[in-house]
């Protein structure tokens, strides 16, 4: 979505996810401009977008959600998954992406952590 740091952040989220809503409220409370909200269910990520976001958060491992219901249902917890496997799964199924993903320039954070958000937007 965004190349330069510029003003504000891009948020990849689900509008009905309480953690995502909390993170957006936190950003607004801090006065951080939100340049875009992307609903991951309505607009799933492409393989290239997953790769890009994974790089920005520090690797596919940090972007991948092992809490997704389909993770256990599909027996993935019993497999040794590579970075490529994780990226492919996230591109196939939005629920495998840890939410929200907050992007500022070339850096991003996945999941809601006030500390990590503060470090990102500082």
The CATH superfamily assigned to 9-121 is Glutaredoxin (3.40.30.10)
Q: Lowest mean pLDDT: which of 1-5, 14-18, 102-106, 118-122?
A: 1-5
Statement: residue 1 has pLDDT above 80 = no
Cross-strand bridge partners of residue 64: 97
Residue 85 and residue 103: Cα distance in Å, rounded? Answer: 23
pLDDT over 90 for what percent of the chain? 93
Convert the pLDDT of each residue in 86-116 to its tens digit.
Answer: 999 999 999 999 999 999 999 999 999 999 9
Task: For the chain, count helices (H), then strands (E).
Answer: 6, 4
Statement: residue 23 has pLDDT above 80 = yes
**Residue 6: its pLDDT value, please?**
54
Statement: residue 9 has pLDDT above 70 = yes
**Residue 4: its pLDDT value, please?**
42
Which runs of E-coded beta strand occur in the chain?
9-13, 34-39, 101-104, 107-110
**Residue 9 φ/ψ, nearest 5 degrees:** -135, 160
Neighbour count for residue 103 (Cβ, 10 Å): 25
Give the start-to-end residue ranges of the domains of the chain: 9-121
**Residue 7: its pLDDT value, please?**
76
């Amino acid at each position: 979505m965004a190349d330069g740091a510029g003003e504000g952040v891009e948020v990849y989220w689900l509008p009905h996810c309480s953690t995502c809503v909390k993170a957006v409220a936190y950003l607004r409370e801090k006065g951080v401009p939100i340049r875009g909200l992307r609903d991951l269910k309505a607009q799933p990520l492409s393989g290239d977008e997953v790769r890009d976001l994974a790089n920005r958060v520090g690797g596919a491992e940090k972007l991948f959600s092992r809490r997704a219901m389909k993770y256990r249902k599909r027996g993935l917890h019993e497999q040794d998954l590579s970075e490529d496997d994780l990226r492919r799964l996230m591109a196939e199924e939005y629920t495998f992406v840890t939410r929200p993903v907050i992007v500022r320039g070339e850096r991003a954070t996945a999941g809601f952590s006030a500390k990590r958000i503060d470090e990102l937007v500082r």
